[in-house]
């Protein structure tokens, strides 16, 4: 039930963000403040994922791989806005 409600919250936030961008296409809608609430649900999803993955080598490799991809995305996004 918790995962379902969290998924519904995330979907609602994303749909609202997309509708906002469609309603105001020429405004500055790339501002990070509009997407910040999804960080909370994303962090909870990552925590649930780490709990659900098996403690075998495959599970650890998946978690490490996902963490590396997330880190590369964060660094590239920060670099994009700094440069």
Residue pLDDT, tens place only, 41-73? 777 877 777 777 777 777 788 888 888 988 898
> Tens digits of per-residue pLDDT, 72-81?
988 988 888 8
Q: How far apart are CA 35 and CA 83, in angstroms?
A: 21
Residue range 8-18, pLDDT digits in tens = 888 888 888 88
∠ CA 62-67-70, nearest 5°, is: 125
Q: For residues 21 and 50, what is the distance between their CA atoms, to the nearest angstrom?
A: 33
29 pLDDT above the threshold of 70:
no
8 A C-beta contact, residue 14 and residue 38: yes
Binned at pLDDT 50, 70 and 90, residue 30 comes out as low
Structure-token match 């990070």, residue found: 32
Radius of gyration of the chain (CA): 16
């Amino acid at each position: 039930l918790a995962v379902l409600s969290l998924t519904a919250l995330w979907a609602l936030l994303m749909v609202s963000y997309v509708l906002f961008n469609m309603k105001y296409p020429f405004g500055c809608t790339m501002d990070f403040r509009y997407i910040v609430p999804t960080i909370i649900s994303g962090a909870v999803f990552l925590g649930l994922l780490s709990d659900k993955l098996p403690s075998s080598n495959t599970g650890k490799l998946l978690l490490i791989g996902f963490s590396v991809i997330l880190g590369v995305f964060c660094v590239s996004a920060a670099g994009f806005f700094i440069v």
